[in-house]
Amino acid sequence: MEISGLLNKRTGIIISGSVILILLLFLLLRGPVLRIYVAHKTKEAEARYSLVVSYDKLKMSGLAGIKITGLRIWPSNGDTLFSADYIRMEMNPLKLLFLTPDLRRLDADNIKINFVKIDSLSNFDFLFKTGNKPVSASRGSQTVVGRFNYARNTNNLLSLVLGALPANANISRLNIGYRNEPYSLSIDVPELKVQDDAFNTVITSVDDGLITVLSAEGILDDSERKITARLFARDGAKVSVPFLDFKWGAEVQFDTLAFELSASSRKSDKITLTGKAMAKGISVFHERISPVNVILEKGEFDYKINIGRNYLELDSSSTAIINNFSFSPYLRTEKNMEWKIVASVNKNDFEADELFSSLPKGLFYNLEGIRTEGRLNYHFYLNLDFSRIDSLKLESSLVPEKFRIISSGKTDLRKMNSDFEYSACENGYPVRSFIVGPVNSNFRTLDRISPYLQMAVLQSEDGGFFYHDGFLMESLREALAEDIKERKFRRGGSTISMQLVKNVFLSRNKTLARKFEEVMIVWLIETNRLSSKERMFEVYMNIIEWGPMVYGANEAARFYFDKDVKDININEAIFLASIIPSPKRSLNSFTADFQLKPGMEGYYKLLAQRLRIKGLISEQEEAGIKPEVKLAGEAKRQIQSREK
């Protein structure tokens, strides 16, 4: 027993002595070891990204502190990207012993981060350089591995953000700049203090001469994996978001932005983000969104986002609030060999005025101020697999219950029921105005328009016009699938109702606002029967463009055939229907000797078949229909002038 006790005592002494020796060696050699470690990492960065890293002094400060002065980083062929006069980092001594840095405190002075772009070259191109790890895929299992691991990448990004600032820090004179002549952006932070994970600071941005001052405050809690932040103007004015106007021609302003984010730990390649985002006084302008500023008084978003190895999912328990209207969206995007997107929104039995009183100003100009009563039920579903685009599923329905319009907004949606002035526009500007009604000598009621022309237009543009409620979801689905395959906007899937609303009520600016408002106005007119189908079709036939500065069916009959529209024959009717999608190119359908080009034959056969099915013509008449018309009037004279 005595021998055993002596051995245990001796072992304890040896272990204790070894630990003390290691600590002494660490204290004595930590400076050289640090410099060797930093030199190794610097060489790696220089070799991988063609960077140059230099500093005046690098040394240990205290037991586990690191002090750097005169630090500079720049690409070998570019301007300085990062510089700092002074940086002191206080590390966790135990983790530093094993070369796994854990930052406890940061003090820094005069940090400058400058992004410079000259022509196509920049000093930050290396940031977009991909790593050396390959991306492999298995077609049989439809899986993707490598860097496309969204849970891992999200976890790494969160760790980077949460670890960027320690629990305590004091950073003075921080400047972030971007220069791409003649544009320049400068963001100044005179002092950033972090105490027990909480930070607050004042930020001044100079965006191409526009000065904005705002306050920022929040918490970066690494241990709880939680981020909160709030941005707001100090002087009560709106905050302008920099860079967006220069890069995308967009202007975004706000009164207050705030968000909270909590992240779960990553388990089995899954991470969950929960939190809330809030915005007040948002103003957005972009010419592709709306010709005027879009105003959102308030918006909130309570979210739960599940992120896996190859997918991102917005849980259906999430709630979005736009002004006074709330809904719960679901969205899942999954990446195998191709993307797959599933989205849905279901909101049942809600007050109609919740929706209409919450429409953002600037998106629905004609409906601003509208008041409604009754209840609504909305359903939306999208399922898009990019490996099988034709299998796309699209559903959308807004079902009313005892719904009615109490008062119109800025525009009376019943204006088509009587005579009104119509303005034709080109490139967003009015080029001609005329009255739609009997006072106009070219106006024709339906009973004075050739039935051949009426049916040809219906079968060409919207065969179900008199039977649907303004929309044909299958046509919209097919158009969306084709646009996705072509990667450009080719088909719109518009019904006659949608074309009519676009022409009568909306500007010709191709914006998101116009499309949103078009859909809403069509729904209001069709659901409430504000105008009869017959009157809508009559207005349509009297205002649509049928050639260069040619509007309405009777003008078209005079322009091409020098006759009244009631006398149009079946061949002429099919031709007139064919040019509605591209009226300005109508004369290109003719040869120099005034004959229709051979390419029209297929269209004539298709329309003739549809007219026969509708009972308008017999099989014998169908067989005799050919792309042959006798051109006359102004159209013939213009072709003659073109050929001279």
Residue 518 lies in a domain: yes
Domain count, the chain: 1
For residue 632, is it within any domain? yes
Q: Which is nearest to 599 in space by CA: 627, 572, 573, 579?
A: 627
0.85 cut: is pTM over it? Answer: no
What is the rounded average pLDDT for all residues in the chain? 86
Q: 208-252: per-residue pLDDT in tens?
A: 989 999 999 999 888 888 999 999 987 778 889 999 999 899 999
**429 located within any domain:** yes
Whether 258 maps to a domain, the answer reads no
What is the predicted pLDDT for the residue at 133? 46
CA distance 527 to 13: 90
Q: What is the pLDDT of residue 372?
A: 95
CATH number for the domain spanning 589: value is 1.10.3810.10
Mean pLDDT over 630-640 rounds to 90
Backbone angles phi, psi at 246, to 5 degrees: -65, -45
For residue range 291-302, list pLDDT tens digits in order.
Answer: 889 999 999 999
Q: State the residue range of the domain holding 593.
A: 415-643
- Tokens describing residue 628: 């042959």
> What are 104-116's pLDDT values in tens digits?
888 999 999 999 9
More confident residue, 464 or 96: 464
**Residue 81, token pair as written in the block:** 């990207």
Query: Is there a domain that residue 310 lies in?
Result: no
Residues whose CB is less than 8 angstroms from the CB of residue 433 and which lie 6 or more positions away in sequence, other chains included? 421, 422, 423, 424
Within a domain: residue 12? no
Q: Are 314 and 343 in contact (CB under 8 A)?
A: no
Residue percentage of the chain with pLDDT more than 90: 58
Give the pLDDT of residue 97.
56
| Dihedral angle over CA of 5, 9, 11, 16, nearest 10 | 160
- Cα distance between residue 398 and residue 327, in whole Å: 14
Reported as a single tens digit per residue, the pLDDT across 384-426 is: 999 999 999 999 999 999 999 999 889 999 999 999 999 998 8
User: Is 80 exceeded by the pLDDT of residue 53?
Assistant: yes
Instruction: Name the range with the highest mean pLDDT among 13-27, 271-285, 423-437.
Output: 271-285
Tell me, what's the pLDDT at 138?
A: 43
Is pLDDT at 26 greater than 60 in this prediction? no
Residue type, 619: E
> Residue 129's pLDDT is what?
60
Using alpha carbons, list the distances in angstroms from residue 395 to 205, 212, 248, 392: 45, 44, 32, 10
Those residues with Cβ within 8 angstroms of residue 579's Cβ, 6 or more apart along the chain or in another chain: 546, 547, 585, 586, 589
Nearest CA to 250 among 283, 281, 286?
286
Q: What is the model's pLDDT at position 165?
A: 75
Written in H, E and C, the secondary structure of 25-83 is HHHHHHHHHHHHHHHHHHHHHHHHHCEEEECCEEEEECCCEEEEEEEEEEECCCCCCEE
pLDDT, position 266: 81
CA angle 95, 96, 101 (to 5 degrees): 80
Does residue 609 lie within any of the structural domains?
Answer: yes
pLDDT tens digits along 160-219: 787 777 888 999 999 999 999 889 999 999 999 999 989 999 999 999 989 999 999 999
More confident residue, 23 or 127: 127
- Evaluate whether residue 23 is within a structural domain: no
Give the pLDDT confidence of 530-582 residue by residue, as tens digits.
Answer: 999 999 999 999 999 999 899 999 999 999 999 999 999 999 999 999 999 99
459 vs 477: CA distance, rounded Å: 19
